[in-house]
Amino acid sequence: MLLLADKPSAYLPGDILQLKLIVDVAIKTMDREVFLTLLKEREQNYRTLTENSQDCIMRFDEKGRHLFVNSAALRLTRMRLEDFLGKTHREMGFPPDLCDFWESTIQEVFSKKRVQEKEFTWEGPDGPVVFDWRLFPEMDEQGNIHGVVSVARDITKWRQAQAERDRMQLEILKKKKMESVGRLAGGIAHDFNNKLQAILGYTDMAIEDAAGNAQVVAELQSVKNVSLQLADIVRQLLAYASKQMVSPRILDLNETITGMTAMLRRLIGEHIRLDWKTIPDLWPVNIDPGQIDQILMHLCLNARDAIRGTGTISIRVENVALGPSDCQGYPDRAPGEYVKLCVCDTGEGIDPVILEHIFEPFFTNKDIDKGKGLGLSVIYGIVRQNGGFVEVESRVTEGTTFRIFLPRCAAPAKPMKLSDVRASRKATILLVEDDPNILDIGKQILERMGYEALIAQGAEEALALAETVPIDLLITDVIMPEMNGKVLSEQLGRKFPEMRTVFMSGHTADIIAPHGMLDRDTHFLQKPFTVHAFMEMVQKVLEEKTR
């Protein structure tokens, strides 16, 4: 029995019962060799199980001293066996709060005489490790506890996988929510834009007719301004849902940003001050207004998340001319004239390591419920697409400044008046639209411009009209019940090879795209458009036809 006394620390739950059976056999046979052989086999089986286990297996006495530690625990802690045996965790220098937890759990097993299961995180040499910890009482036949055996399983990867699964589920839910918002926005936009289109058209014509009556013109101009503001609200809703069409036009950022401030204030909350100032004589830029909306929303939302408590987000614009010397050391810069848009915040700033990656798609340092890491990459893509560049400056605790440079463009031409426009040549224009108000207003505008205007409330009616007279220009809605605008254009194009086409729609990009309307060379009018934009498009396309 000296062998048993030599290794009192080497036995797990069930060892005492197994040893008793071995001793009983030895006593019955009175054969020392049989006893030693059985004991050696049992010892070998035990070693094979414990030393090949990936779990950390330990055995403690009532005072929490280590009586046994397997190889997995030694590898994980990078400690030696002699560092453990006979010592408590506290004596080994583990963190006091973790020692308190371990000691109380071991005492629970001794006092309650039943298995305990806990979870804890230990800061190991290679980083934090999450353990699923199970402790078993080691009891004899009389119910006396001789020790506690613990099996700690490393579940760090499982927890990480679980967190990633939760993150992906949250992203899916957010995507579904945004898709629902987008579908709702798209449906509202189509109907709303059609009505606004009619209001804008009738108002523009009424302003022309009321020339000379300043009070009436002023009142009608107010109606037009409110309608344009409503169109901006729809555009901003579509930008938030990432559903807007991309239709660049010449803008004064003073006006565009001013129209956006009410929505931005709602987005950032009352605890953050939005500071916006216009400047006189700002140069125009050529960009889709919905893209400006997206840029400002993403930057202001990022700034909001960076501000703890109260703070300020400042938006500024200015004209800048960059020479060759201004571009040295800035690889993205190019000499030229730009409108600079700055968005500054008083937030926590961005760590230099993170700053290097902020424009990368899906890169984010936010919690999983705060963003998906696409906003800044979207901004970068929009600005580059429009011939500009983005710069960012930030210091930890001192806030962040984004500078967006957009190329200056030529000032817009003075808006045409219906009374000043006359057809440069005879042309027959076929207008196809399922909304009768838009048909009516479109016909009146075309006739005032001096063109022969035919109207049809659907594709079949349009094809019938085309049998009676040659068509020079087709202006058609994209989505129609009988036949979409592209198919109609293709059919008429086979009959009239010189015919040109202008597409128009109040639908969103995701609905129009499958119908092939988003090609770069397509002539497209996004509803609601002004009479000026309509006339300008008609003249532009007909001039192309004569070249």
DSSP 8-class letter at 245: -
CATH code, residues 2-151: 3.30.450.20
Q: Which two tokens stand for residue 185?
A: 């926005």
- Please compute the mean of the pLDDT values over residues 247-271 and round it to a whole number: 88
Residue 472 sits at the vertex; the CA angle it makes with 470 and 476, to the nearest 5 degrees, is 105
Strands 66-69 vs 500-505: parallel, antiparallel or unpaired? unpaired
Enclosing H/E stretch for 458 = none
User: Side chain identity at 323, as an amino acid letter?
Assistant: G
Q: How far apart are CA 312 and CA 180, in angstroms?
A: 32
Position 3 pLDDT exceeds 90:
no
3-state secondary structure of 64: coil
Q: How confident is the model at residue 402 (pLDDT cuts 50, 70, 90)?
A: very high
Q: How far apart are CA 132 and CA 120, in angstroms?
A: 7
Q: How far apart are CA 114 and CA 109, in angstroms?
A: 6
Asked if residue 478 lies in contact with residue 484, where contact means CB atoms within 8 angstroms, the answer is yes
**pTM of the entire predicted model:** 0.49
Asked if residue 414 lies in contact with residue 385, where contact means CB atoms within 8 angstroms, the answer is no
Query: 115-167: per-residue pLDDT in tens?
Result: 889 888 888 888 888 998 999 898 877 888 888 999 999 898 998 888 888 88
Looking at residue 546, its pLDDT comes to 64
- Please compute the mean of the pLDDT values over residues 426-448 and round it to a whole number: 90
In the block, residue with structure tokens 């099996």: 151
DSSP 8-class letter at 516: T
Position 479 pLDDT exceeds 70:
yes
Alpha-carbon torsion, ordered 486, 492, 493, 499, to 10 deg: -100
Position 348 pLDDT exceeds 70:
yes
246-412 shares its CATH topology with 418-546: no
**338 Cβ neighbours under 8 A, 6+ residues apart:** 319, 320, 321, 322, 388, 405, 406, 407, 408
In the block, residue with structure tokens 């060379």: 521
Query: 194-213: per-residue pLDDT in tens?
Result: 888 888 888 888 888 888 78
Q: 418-546: what fold?
A: Rossmann fold (3.40.50)
Task: Tell me phi and psi for residue 483, to 5 degrees.
Answer: -160, 135
Looking at residue 6, its pLDDT comes to 36
Secondary-structure breakdown of the chain: helix, strand, coil percentages, each rounded to the nearest 5: 50, 20, 30
Q: 246-412: what fold?
A: Heat Shock Protein 90 (3.30.565)
Looking at residue 331, its pLDDT comes to 83
Q: How confident is the model at residue 235 (pLDDT cuts 50, 70, 90)?
A: low
Q: Compute the radius of gyration of the chain from its Cα atoms.
A: 38
Q: How confident is the model at residue 12 (pLDDT cuts 50, 70, 90)?
A: very low
Asked if residue 478 lies in contact with residue 486, where contact means CB atoms within 8 angstroms, the answer is yes
In the block, residue with structure tokens 């002539």: 523
Enclosing H/E stretch for 347 = none
Q: How confident is the model at residue 7 (pLDDT cuts 50, 70, 90)?
A: very low
- Please compute the mean of the pLDDT values over residues 412-429 and round it to a whole number: 65
Strands 56-60 vs 66-69: parallel, antiparallel or unpaired? antiparallel
Looking at residue 10, its pLDDT comes to 40
Crossing angle of helices 289-306 and 214-240, in 10° steps, is: 60
Q: How far apart are CA 393 and CA 382, in angstroms?
A: 19
3-state secondary structure of 430: strand
Position 356 pLDDT exceeds 50:
yes
Higher pLDDT, 30 or 161: 161
Q: How confident is the model at residue 511 (pLDDT cuts 50, 70, 90)?
A: low
For 132, other C-beta atoms within 10 Å of its C-beta total: 16
Asked if residue 334 lies in contact with residue 323, where contact means CB atoms within 8 angstroms, the answer is no
Percentage of the chain beyond pLDDT 70 is 79
Q: Which two tokens stand for residue 84?
A: 């453990």
Structural domain spans, the chain: 2-151, 246-412, 418-546
